[in-house]
Amino acid sequence: MNVIVIGATGGSGRAACDALLDRGHRVTAVSRHATRLPARAGLTRLDLDASDAGALTRALPGHDAVVVTLGISEPTLRVRLRGPRSTPGDIRSRGTAAIVAAARQAGIRRIVVQSSYGVGDTRDRATLATRIFFALLIRPQIIDSEIQEGVIRGSGMDWTIVQPVYLTDTDETAHHVSEDGSIRSHRVSRAAVGRVHAELIETGASIGRTVSVSG
């Protein structure tokens, strides 16, 4: 398959690209600095802003599916106190809306979008500690993720929302995936989540569903 990964230079985006390439798919990695990614066979690197509707309209044709891993990769406390320095605060929702419009125009139906455990369908399952963390440190990002999920649910596409628990950078790839919000732990590696993205693209599973991912 030919898959475009948008938000490809963040930890989850890189993991999704690697997992798809390891399975033999062709991948277009998209972010503002995608050309900084190491070259790999089957990988095309494309520098563009995920909220640039015109650029997305040119980039998406010819792809079979879209993976969206948008987010703000700046220090959490600084973003909370001063706002993001280089990334729009609403990049998840604004970018996803632009991606959906471009995908429709390109005739692409399959889209897998990464959100966060404790948003939307799993809002009531978040621990007290998680709720406090959300409220004190990343409330604007969580609100934006809620809006993003609404965009996806109303898109009319073959969507799946992926909600990992707290992300780590270990090499551990064991993971548990559920559609009922159940989790086995409160941590999961980005490498494992990347595999989940690749599996969902390959199998077409969980269309119209939210999947929780834990270690």
Model confidence at 126, pLDDT cuts 50, 70, 90, reads confident
Query: Torsions phi, psi of 81, nearest 5?
Result: -80, -40
Reported as a single tens digit per residue, the pLDDT across 99-122 is 999 999 999 999 999 999 999 999
Arithmetic mean of pLDDT, 76-104: 81
The whole-number pLDDT of residue 110 equals 98
| 8 A C-beta contact, residue 91 and residue 135 | no
Average model confidence (pLDDT) across the chain: 93
Global pTM? 0.94
Q: Which burial class, exposed, middle or buried, applies to 29 when counting CB atoms under 10 A from its CB (0-12, 13-18, 19+)? A: buried
What does the pLDDT average to over 130-157?
Answer: 90
Q: Which residues of 172-202 are buried (b: 16+ CB within 10 A; e: fewer)?
A: eeebbbeeebebeeeebbbbbbbbbbbbbbb
Q: What is the pLDDT of residues 24-72, one digit of tens each?
A: 999 999 999 999 999 999 999 999 999 899 999 999 999 999 999 998 7
pLDDT band at 186 (very low <50, low <70, confident <90, very high): very high
CATH of the domain spanning 2-214:
3.40.50.720
Residue 82 has pLDDT above 70, yes or no: no
Answer whether residue 151 shows pLDDT above 60: yes
Two tokens at 149? 């999920």
User: Is residue 92 within a helix (H) or strand (E), and if so which, with residue range?
Assistant: helix 91-106
What Cα–Cα distance (Å) separates residue 85 from each residue in 73, 79, 88, 118?
Answer: 10, 8, 8, 26
pLDDT grade for 79, boundaries at 50, 70 and 90: low
